[in-house]
Amino acid sequence: EAGVTQFPSHSVIEKGQTVTLRCDPISGHDNLYWYRRVMGKEIKFLLHFVKESKQDESGMPNNRFLAERTGGTYSTLKVQPAELEDSGVYFCASSQDYSADTQYFGPGTRLTVL
């Protein structure tokens, strides 16, 4: 069974540009999460989808971040315009049960904003 996949693995962009990160969850997992780790800090929750619906986006830092999950399958996280403080590693995770006993994480996308 394929795990959670994320694309790209690395992205380097200039401040003010737009970047779109993609996450493909494990097939059949209704729950999809985005987390991120900025330099020197712990991994923090960004948002949670159940199928195509945003269940909780309380961790999204500001309105420069937009997450979508078309058709309840893969998800994208767009940052527009990117700022220096957006640099970090963005992780996607998925789980089968709403109680979220086990979340399976992807390898992450390392974003560098110059």
Binding site for another protein (CB under 8 A): 4, 31, 33, 35, 41-45, 48, 55-56, 91, 93, 95, 98-108
Which residues, 6+ apart, have CB-to-CB distance to 106 below 8 Å?
Answer: 3, 4, 5, 6, 23, 91, 92, 93
Cβ neighbours, 10 Å, residue 36: 24
Q: Which is nearer to another protein, 17 or 55 (CB)?
A: 55
Least separation in angstroms between CB 110 and another protein: 9
Least separation in angstroms between CB 53 and another protein: 13
Q: Which is nearer to another protein, 93 or 113 (CB)?
A: 93
- Which tokens sit at 105? 């994480």
